Amino acid sequence: MTDNTSPLIQPTTDRALEPAEPKPELQAAAPSILLEQNNKPAESQNSAPKKDYALITGASSGLGLAFARILASKKKPLILVGKDEHKLKQISYELKDKEGIDVRFLPIDLARSKDLPNLPDKLQRMGLKVDVLINNAGFGKFGPETHIRYEDALNMINLNCRATLAMTKLFLPGLLKQKKGAIINIADTAGFIPVPKLAAYAATKAFVINYTEALAQEVAGRGVKVLCVCPSPMSTSFFTKADINTSTHQHLQQLTDPESVVEQALTALKTGKTLIVAGQPSFWMKIAPTLMTRSWLRKIGFGLFKN
């Protein structure tokens, strides 16, 4: 699953899946955490896992954090995955404290890690069963293709495409075996059209859309829901990280809040949808994928980032 031959894909030392350290008042309710810290899993390897968790990638900010907060408010136990250990730990404390649910966190660089294949086994050993997988972690880089660094482009493909595919492949068999659960893959409205100055990013999201739609069709009727969410531009740190100045682009003047995208995604999941455009897409973005020729689509894409 991981391309170990690429010099750009370095192994990282993934931290063990860490439970959020409970605040004093929660300690009594969470003895398993203390046992696990001593390397003795709370539940033996043979005992059936007792809880179903939602695993969210990129849970430390933006849309992933909104998923975490909203699912926590519905009392769903969580496994939060992301790069920034400190942020994940803080969020885990906060949600555990506020909602009284079990929250675990796993600091891991999904674009580079070679340890992903061991993740389902590791979770199972700890008695953590995942029934909802949200492949949300992703980033973009803005600029003419000649200005985008090769390493950034490759990282984008590794995170947006390869990690999404890897996590899906790792967890799907378990979900199909249980005949229940859901996979939500986060794409982008940019995935419907070629977007000059976001060429590689838009292409990674086209992959996510096609891959997820095909998968949904493949597993239809087997108890597992598969949903692709294409948010319109949201107010997250995405644009800063992508080097996009939102104030200079007309279509980025009104950004959707990530919470409303989460609510739309959860409703879509309930109603069995396969693909949704969430947020407040412009009229053109709404009809672009269905009614336009490729040459029109390229023009719309170019129009998005003229300056």
Ligand X SMILES: NC(=O)c1ccc[n+]([C@@H]2O[C@H](COP(=O)([O-])OP(=O)(O)OC[C@H]3O[C@@H](n4cnc5c(N)ncnc54)[C@H](OP(=O)(O)O)[C@@H]3O)[C@@H](O)[C@H]2O)c1
Q: Which of residues 33 and 277 has its CB atom nearest to ligand X in the complex?
A: 277
CA distances from 234 to 115, 203, 238, 280 (A): 31, 19, 8, 9
The minimum distance between CB 32 and ligand X, in angstroms, equals: 26
Which of 273, 299, 279 minimizes the C-alpha distance to 288? 299
> What one-letter code names the amino acid at 221?
G
Shortest spacing between CB 62 and ligand X, in angstroms: 2
Task: Tell me the sheet residues that pair with 129.
Answer: 52
Report the C-alpha dihedral over residues 87, 238, 230, 216, rounded to 10 degrees: -50
Q: Which residue of the set 53, 150, 201, 211 is catalytic?
A: 201
State in angstroms the smallest separation of the CB of 205 from ligand X: 7
Antiparallel, parallel or unpaired: β 181-186 and 18-19:
unpaired
Smaller CB distance to ligand X: residue 139 or 302?
Answer: 139
CA distance 101 to 26: 10
- Closer residue to ligand X, CB minimum distance, 47 or 237: 237
Distance of CA 81 to the CA centre of its chain: 9
- By beta-carbon proximity to ligand X, the closer residue of 22 and 104 is 104
Judged by beta carbon, residue 53 or residue 238, the one nearer ligand X is 238
What's the closest the beta carbon of residue 7 comes to ligand X, in angstroms? 17
Sequence-separated (6 or more) residues with CB below 8 Å from residue 210: none
Using CB under 6 A, list all residues that contact ligand X: 57-58, 60-64, 82-84, 109-111, 136-139, 159, 186, 188, 231, 233-234, 236-238, 241
Residues in the chain: 307
**Least Cβ distance, residue 194 to ligand X (angstroms):** 16
Tokens of 141: 């880089």
The reply to whether 201 belongs to the active site is yes
- Rg (the chain; Cα; Å): 20
d(CA 153, CA 294): 24
Q: Which residues of 241-270 are buried (b: 16+ CB within 10 A; e: fewer)?
A: ebebeeeebebbeebbebeebbebbbebbe
The nearer residue to ligand X, 122 or 180, going by C-beta atoms, is: 122
Spatial distance between the Cα atoms of 304 and 154, rounded to a whole number of angstroms: 24
Catalytic sites, residue numbers: 201
